[in-house]
Chains A and B, each alone.
Chain A
Amino acid sequence: MQQHRKLRLAFFDFTCCEGCQLVFLSQEDALLELASHVDIVNFREASSRREDEYDVAFIEGSISTQDDIARVRDIRQRACTLIAFGACATTGGVNKLKNRRPMEEHLRAVCGEMEHYPNTIPAMAVHEVVTCDYLLHGCPIDPRELRRLFLCLVTGRTFRQQNVPVCFECRLRENVCLYHKQIPCLGPVTRAGCGAICPRFGRGCYGCFGPKESPNTVYLRRVWEQNGVAPDEVSRAFLGFNAWAEPFRAEGEGRGA
Chain B
Amino acid sequence: MPGLSHFARKVKAVEHKTLRIRVDALARVEGEGGIELHVRDGRVLDHRFRIFEPPRFFEAFLLGRSYTEVPDITARICGICPVAYQMSSVLALERALGVEVDEPVRVLRRLMYCGEWIESHALHVLFLHAPDFLRLADAFGIARLYPDMFRKGLELKKAGNDLVSLIGGREVHPVNMKVGGFHRMIAQAELDTLKERLKRARDHALDLVAWVSGFSFPDFSRDYEFVALCHPTEYPMAEGEVTSSLGLTLKSDEVEDIFVEEQVDHSHALHASIAGREGYVVGPLARFNLNHERLSPLARQAVQDAKLDAPCTNPFRSIVVRAVEILQACDDALTILEGRGLRGEALLPDIQVRAGRGSACTEAPRGLLHHRYELDEAGLVRAARIMPPTSQNQRSIESDLLHLVEASADLGEERLTWLCEQAVRNYDPCISCATHSLRPGTPRVDGWRRNDHSSPR
Contact = CB atoms under 8 A, between A and B. Distances in A.
Interface of A: 13, 15-23, 25-26, 28-29, 31-32, 35, 40, 43-50, 64-65, 68, 93-95, 97-98, 100, 106, 108-116, 118-120, 139-140, 194, 197-198, 200-203, 206, 208, 233, 236, 240-241
7 contacts: A18-B30, A22-B79, A26-B172, A97-B57, A112-B449, A194-B170, A236-B66
B127 A46 contact: yes
Q: Which of A49, A201, A208, A236 has the most CB of B within 10 A?
A: A201
Given A47-B28, A140-B170, A202-B183, 15 more contacts: A20-B172, A22-B80, A35-B140, A40-B140, A43-B138, A100-B61, A109-B456, A111-B438, A112-B450, A112-B453, A194-B170, A197-B169, A198-B183, A200-B169, A203-B175
Contacts of B77: 17
A110 B157 contact: no
Interface in B41-81: 52-57, 59-61, 65-66, 69, 72-73, 76-80
Interface stretch (B13-21, B275-283, B321-329, B439-447): B439-447
Contact of A28 (B26, B155, B173): B155
Given A26-B157, A48-B131, A120-B54, A98 B61 contact: yes
B27 A44 contact: yes
A52 to B, nearest CB: 13
Interface of B: 25-32, 52-57, 59-61, 65-66, 69, 72-73, 76-80, 82, 119, 123, 127-128, 131, 137-140, 143, 154-155, 157-158, 161, 169-173, 175-176, 178, 182-184, 265, 268, 432, 437-441, 447-456
A50 B31 CA distance: 16
Which of A48, A119, A236 has the largest number of chain B CB atoms within 10 A?
A48
B448 A116 contact: yes
Identify the 10 closest CB pairs spanning chains A and B, nearest first. A112-B451, A19-B79, A47-B138, A17-B79, A28-B158, A97-B61, A19-B172, A140-B172, A120-B54, A203-B183
A19 B440 contact: no
B183 A201 contact: yes
B54 A241 contact: no
Interface centre among B26, B32, B59, B79 (most CB of A within 10 A): B79
Contacts of A140: 79, 170, 172-173
Given A19-B173, A110-B437, A98 B56 contact: yes
B123 A25 contact: yes
